[in-house]
Every structure is written in C-alpha cells, then in structure tokens.
Structure 1
C-alpha cells in the first residue's frame, strides 16, 4: 500500500537542529520523500511563498522573530497556502495560555513534545483524509459557487462516511448561514446537539440568532455556552459582538478582558480591548492592551502604526506628553518613510502643541497633517480622518473639519458603530450633537434613494434604478446598503434578460467592492449563490 506521505511536500520549521533532525527521521520512517527545512519564521514564509506544501510542521517557539502562530497567521492572511495544506503547530509547553493562543490561529492540529512517529502519523493521516474529502467543497466556496458547495456537501453526507460526518455537518450548517438559509442551519445544529453536546454547534445557534437580529437570544446562547465551555474563545468574540451591536461598551470590555486573560497572544483581540477600554475611560486597561498590541505587532502581519498612536493619544489624555512623544518617536523608528504613520504622528503632535499652548507649532503640524491627508486621499483610514477633523475643530479650522466630516458621514452612514465614534468625538470637545443634523439628513437621503431605486426596480426600469444608485455611489462610494441594492438589481436583470459580459463584469466588480469594504458574508451569500449559478449556466450554454 502506498504511504500517505509519498509524494507529499513537507516543510519542517524548527530552530533547534537536533529537533529538526528528529522530526525529519520520523517522517522518513513514515516513507516521506520530499522534505524542506527552515530554522525561523521568515525563512518559513519565504519557503511557503515559493512552494505549495502539502504539510507544514511548525514549532511555536522559533527564537527571535516570528513564532509559529504568527507564521500561520501571515501565510493565511497572504493566502500563501492552499486549503489542502495541513498546518500543525508543535510546542514543548502545555500552559493554557500558550495552547489557547496557538489554537486561536486555528491550526489543523496542536502537537505537544515529546511525540513519536506513530503519534505524528495518526495526526497527519486524520487531517490529510479530512482535507482530501473536503477540498472540492472548499474550492467551490473559494470560487463563490456556494450552491455547488452545498450540493457537494450533501452528496458526501449521503455516502455515510462516519469518520467525517461531523465535519461535513459543521460545513453544511456554515454554508446554510452563508446563504441566509437559517432554518436549515438551525436544524443541522439541533440534530448535532441531539447526538452530542458540541460547542461549535451551540455557537452556531447563537450566530444564527445574531444574524437574524435577535440579540437578546444570541447573548443568552453565548453566555450559556461559555458557562459550559469557558475556554471556547470564539464564544467571547461573538458575545462581544452582541454587546457592541447594542452599544454596551462596558459589557464588551468585560467580555474581552476575560478572553485576553485566557489567551493574551491574540493581537486582534488586544486591539479591540484597548480601543473599547479607551472609549470607556479605563486608562490602565487600555494602556496595558495597547502596549500588548504594540509588542505583539512587532512580528505580526496585523501590526499597525495606529497601535503606537493610539497609545500615544492615551498618554496625551492623561497629560503625559513625554510618554506620548516617546511613543511617536518609537513609531517613526519602526515605520520609516510611511505616509500614514507620519500623518498619525503629525495629527497628534498638533494636539500636543495645542495643549501646551504652542499655537504656532500646533498650526504647522496640522497643516502638515492636512497636506499628508490630501496625498493619501481615500486611503486615509476613517479613524484617522476623525482625528484630523477633531484637530481642525480644536484649532478653529471649521471649514476643513466640516469637509472631512461630510465625507465621513456620507460614506459610513450605515455604520452605526462608527457614527457613535463621531458622536463621542464631538461630545469630548464640547460639540455634542453638532453633526447630528448631517447624520439624520444623510440617513433620510439614503432612505429616499433606496425607496426610489426600489420603486424603479419594481417598475422594471433597471437601467434607471442602476443610474440612480450609481449617482449615489459618487457621494457615498463605500455605502454597503447601496452596493447590496445594486447587486440585487443586477442579479434580477441578469435573470430576466440576456446575459452579456458587461453585466457580468459589473457584478463581479461590485462583489469585489463588497468584500473590500467588509460587507457581512451572510448578506452576500444568496446573491453570490445566484451569481455563481448564472455564471455556470452561461458557460455551459452552447455557442451558436
């Protein structure tokens, strides 16, 4: 019988030569024939960028530089590994914090040292079989062909593979949620829980409640889950989302604090805790989390200059100008010739000079910030634009501030969390409710545009409806509601009339835009499924 490792390309990432040799010898004893080695995180990523490995065995502690968790996060973020790659994190330690931190990045397995060839074989065999079974489904998902993915999943379920049945049911429920088929998703989770109390199934029920807008029931589901499974970190993330949707920031902070205590190595969770505690005025919690984000970011793909400036802003709020300026100096050293970093620094320096009474330096720093903002244009992050507007208000440059606020509010009018940030900023500088008129006016204009567009759509005037939304997009280019409505109209037009390449390309561009501005996947699911079906039928149609 052919070995399961024969012909598989394998990467060993381990900083100790003796351990690399031990793992290599184990693999050769299992009849592996293609093995590459790397002794640090950077070398590992370089190797993965050049070769499509079937298996990566990566130690967690890799000495100075990136650790195994950060290697996995980066290769996933940069899409350097295919779905069928089995990624196993190996570690000598078994502390809860380290294990949970490593599992946060969702490796296929977590293997503790010492282990033998048989233990390694069992892990590899299990995951290779699972990947092989699920790869067709994953390929269809990657292509956006959700209906084909569902069909493939149901086909495999009918074959009665007992070893993989649970994996397939989990996938089937997740696909149901993606396409908005919440009844099917809920039933699959119920059926699973009838057989066995699995935390991911309970989590899934809470996610469905959340997606359907039943925040109270979702919170109850997640709270019950965490009482039974307090180490299930995804439960904390989803419970924090519920509280965030309700704008209960104290509850968000409390939940994230619990998760960070369990797993302090997750940089994204530390960032969220920091900004939430900052908004709540809890300086010590925010400072600790910002410092953690800066430290974790040193070798992380999720590093950001905003972590430094957020920490510096916190120091400025507590009148610790020296610490704020030192943090900005550290950032400039880390982000040399980075326009966004320099823009963030200049904006904060303007505030620091303004507080110290140095009006001339404050004015010069703000002018530099406005110039850099003009260069970056739409690439300036929304939180940074809000900071620039704040500085303009404080230095009596109202025209510049109002222009920035006008664009921000119109672009993000359907992002209630950001609108709350706008309200908090203006309240902090004594301008409470200043932008409320613009917010409400913009909301009414969006509703009117939507209503008119839907009316034209129902009258069969598709071109007129699209033209209306096109015009609205010039004012609100990243508005999620408008993009979703445009996709709905194009889908109906494609189904009702002859399909042509221009319409298909337009739809593809809108789907790409929707992903870029992070429209929830479940809101796109049905539309994506309809589009993939249209594409498939279009391709299969005989050419005359």
Structure 2
C-alpha cells in the first residue's frame, strides 16, 4: 500500500498499547500521517479542526482516563454523522472485541465503512483498508462534484458510472438515488430504488424506496415496503425507525411505540431512537416507558460533546407527570452541575424548574422561573419549536399571558419554526383562552394585510420575484387566509406569465388554487385565477388535463 502514503489516519483508542500497535500496522502500509485521540471528546475536537481520510475507532472508549464511563464508538459515530463532522466519504472502521451482539448490531446500523473484531492481524486490517480506499478512489470525482454543489452533474456521472464500472454499478445507483432525494425529486429516486430491487433484494434499497414513499406521503405503501423488508431482515434497525414514523403519520401512536420498543430491545444503544421512544411514550400516556427511555438518553449522552439540555427537560416533564418531585429535582440539580453555562441551558433549567414549581403548587415560583426561561429563550440558538410551544403552555398555566403571546409571535415570525397562525390560535383555544386566541388572530391579520400591501407595492415596481417571496413569507404565518391565498396565486401567475414557466412555482400555484377551492369553492376570485392559470399554461405550450 505504498501508494497510500499520503492518507491521513486518526486512531481513536484510550489504550496506549493498542494505539502503538495500530500505528505499527499502518507504518507497514507506508501510512505515516497518523494522529491519536484518547476519547470521543478529543476525537471530536480534532475532527472539528481538520478532516482525516481514515478513522480507526475502538468501540469501548471510556473517557480517556482509564475509566469506562465515557462515550462508546457507536455514540461517537452517531454524533459525527449527525453534526456532519466527517465527510460522507470518510473511511470509518470500528474496532471491537465486544461479543455482545446487541452492541455489534448497534454499531453496524450506523453504517461504518467496516467493523473489525479483535484480535486481528496486520494483513487482515490492511486488506480491509485497501478495499475501502479503492472504493473511495472510484467515487472521489463524484464526491468532489457534490462538495462543489454540482449535484446535477454528479447525478449524470453516477448514471455513467453504472454502465462503465460494473463492479460498483449498484453503489453508483445508490448514490444517484440519494442525490435525487437531496434535490427533492422523490418519485424519480423511488424509480431508481425499484430498478435496483429488480436485480437484487438489497435491504438498503428497500429502505431507500420506503423513505421516498414516506416523503411523498404515501404512508401505506411505505409501511408495506418496510414490513416486507423486516420479514427478511429483522435486525435492519433503520427500518424500525421509519416504520414507527409512518404509524405516527397515520395517527397510530400506540403502534409506533410498540415498534420502537421492539427496536430498542434489539439495539439498545442508539440515543436518537431512545429519545423518539420517550417522546412517543409520553404522548400515549405511558409514563413508565417514557421515564426509562429519557433516563437512558440523559445517561448515554452524558459524555457527548453535544449534550442537549432539552433531554433533561423531557425527563423532568415526565417525572412531573408521574408526580415524582424528588427525582425531578435531582435531574434539575444534575443540569446545574454537569452542563456548561449557555443561554440554551439557562432556558432549559428554568423551564424544568418552572414545571416542578407548578407541580408543587408554588405558582409565584413557577412564574418567576418561566419569566427567566422566556428571557433566556430570546438569547438562545437552536432550541426546538416543541420546547418553545411547551413554554407557551406553561406560561398560560400560570397566567403569564403577555409572555405567552410574545413568545408565540416570535415563533410565527421565525420562518424555520413551522408555526402558523392556525397553530397559534389552536394552542390558545386548547388552553381555554379564547380572548388571547382572538387577539393573536387580530395581530396576525393586521400583519398579513401589511405584507399583502408591501407585495402589491413590489409588484407595482416590477419586482415580481420579491412580491412572491413576501407573500410566501405571509403564507407561512397564515396558510389558510382567504385574503392572502388569492393575492399569492395572482402574484405567482403574474411572474409565470411575464418571466417564464417554472414548474415548481406552477405547482405551488395549483396547490394554492386547490386550497382556495377546498376552503371556499364560491370565492369570487377563484374562477378568474383558474382561467388565468390555464391561459398561462397554453401560452407556454404546457399540456392541460381536460
């Protein structure tokens, strides 16, 4: 492997003897650019600074000081993938002497390039690395295109690679499908997976097809695909996760919980699955399952560089629902001791403390903590919409009406939150606060009218694209507003007519017209807008359905 002398390797292992042994093995392959990490934390810090071609990672990492209480290799890989600290083409090899099958399957489901059981010889390790490097080199030109944002060209090169390189034809097809998914072309990606499955019944192709079906809201078809996959591959863990989400999408929460429990029984170490189980169990009222799941999440994430303080809030919320003030207090104290100070941590601690104070009947104490939480949320970054909506509800419970209203308005003004006027009104109505719901609706109505007027002004100045963008921002706040829908459809049609036909924009316009029809089929603008849509189609030679 002399030709591999330029490869860089990161060895992640707390054992100095094993690090030295691996270094010697790599030296025999003329690989000399080798660095060490003694724990998951040091590995993450090194990978944040620069990439490596190969990562050799021990499964049982401990915490780098000889104690077996840190992250394991699986949790490290989960963090690296989720936070995109390693490139998709980084070669990640898991090294383990672990004989417990649940741990091995847990590592395998995170798709490392390979995993090697100890003891192994230098020849066996180098043979694995040689195959991995050879495969990576074949795909490196396409990876470069992806890195440069040239996804269309990458897709074309994948298509060519399927014919020109039969050895990796299926791998090229898989990458092509994944790129199509990245572009949102799910129906076309689904066809690629179907073609793959006509040649070989590959588990990942079944999963890919199910993901495409799910993305197109074909939930029953996705369920059928996943159930067939699990009949033949009962340990294919990612299929359980997606199957649970299809049941959730269909309103079948109990079934989703059962599926996640089955998955956790097979592979008990995936933090995100445990978190999902806790959330679904809480929603179904199964406090005992939720408590167990969230406790495991908090424990397993304890040594992660990316600890999420929201996990502690979820555990406290569960314990409060259970009526266990003592344990809830312990979790809050653990947050204070073990999490680094930040606006996110301050917000989560205050939310958790407010829940506990409310549970014990200390309304004044709860109000004080929740006021602190609202202020901290304003300075935070990345807290979930669900957490903030929960904070709105808590504020309503202790009569912090102004804080609840302000927080809800901020959520609706945040384009990434996904919270619409209808969502906001529903939260207030469920809390029995029709007065706040009406007030919120009036504020949004005025804001929408301002946006419509601003878009009309932009349109009058000939800035059609800006007008459409303004109205789309308004639609995110009030997707069913019957003043906004015709204004947005009209603006899109004007852009299509003057600047040319764009299929995604035309599809959005058709969707808006269909929404108008469902809400008010007799709306005075609907017929004229539909006629204008058909006229524009004919203008550009787009076939219409009779």
| TM-score where L is the length of structure 2 | 0.76
Q: 1:85 aligns with which of 84, 90, 100?
A: 90
Contact between 2:420 and 2:478, CA under 8 Å: does it hold in 1?
no
> What residue in structure 2 maps to residue 469 of structure 1?
469
Aligned residues: 482
With over 3 angstroms needed to count, the CA separation of the structure-2 counterparts of 1:420 and 1:277, relative to structure 1, is farther
Greater displacement, 139-148 / 342-351: 342-351
CA deviation profile, 1:263-312 (whole Å, cap 9, x unmatched): 22111111111111111110111001100110111122442111112111
**Structure 2: how far apart are the matches of 1:138 and 1:44?**
24
The alignment partner of 1:163 has SS state of: helix
Q: 1:125 aligns with which of 125, 130, 140?
A: 130
Structure of greater relative contact order (alpha carbons < 8 Å, 6+ residues apart) = 1
1:473-488 equivalent positions in 2, closer than 5 A:
473=473
1:391 matched to 2:390? The reply is: no
> What residue in structure 2 maps to residue 247 of structure 1?
251
With over 3 angstroms needed to count, the CA separation of the structure-2 counterparts of 1:436 and 1:348, relative to structure 1, is farther
1:347 matched to 2:356? The reply is: no
**Structure 1 position 327, deviation (Å):** 0.8
Unpaired runs of 5+ residues, structure 2, are 64-69, 501-546
**Structure 1 position 131, deviation (Å):** 1.0
1:291 matched to 2:291? The reply is: no
> What residue in structure 1 maps to residue 173 of structure 2?
169
**Structure 1 position 232, deviation (Å):** 0.9
With over 3 angstroms needed to count, the CA separation of the structure-2 counterparts of 1:383 and 1:51, relative to structure 1, is closer
> What residue in structure 2 maps to residue 213 of structure 1?
217
With over 3 angstroms needed to count, the CA separation of the structure-2 counterparts of 1:355 and 1:221, relative to structure 1, is same
1:237-386 equivalent positions in 2, closer than 5 A:
237-376=241-380, 381-386=384-389
With over 3 angstroms needed to count, the CA separation of the structure-2 counterparts of 1:188 and 1:473, relative to structure 1, is closer
Contact between 2:412 and 2:477, CA under 8 Å: does it hold in 1?
no
CA deviation profile, 1:211-250 (whole Å, cap 9, x unmatched): 2222111111111111211111121122122223223222
**Structure 2: how far apart are the matches of 1:4 and 1:199?**
34
**Structure 2: how far apart are the matches of 1:242 and 1:431?**
33
> What residue in structure 1 maps to residue 504 of structure 2?
none
Unpaired runs of 5+ residues, structure 1, are 498-544
**Structure 1 position 113, deviation (Å):** 0.9
**Structure 2: how far apart are the matches of 1:200 and 1:456?**
51
| TM-score where L is the length of structure 1 | 0.76
1:404 matched to 2:436? The reply is: no
Contact between 1:12 and 1:58, CA under 8 Å: does it hold in 2?
yes
> What residue in structure 2 maps to residue 21 of structure 1?
20
Contact between 2:428 and 2:437, CA under 8 Å: does it hold in 1?
no
Aligned-residue Cα RMSD (Å) equals 4.1
> What residue in structure 2 maps to residue 54 of structure 1?
53
Q: 1:110 aligns with which of 115, 123, 128?
A: 115
With over 3 angstroms needed to count, the CA separation of the structure-2 counterparts of 1:85 and 1:176, relative to structure 1, is closer
**Structure 2: how far apart are the matches of 1:418 and 1:251?**
31
Contact between 1:30 and 1:117, CA under 8 Å: does it hold in 2?
no
The alignment partner of 1:164 has SS state of: helix
**Structure 2: how far apart are the matches of 1:285 and 1:421?**
30
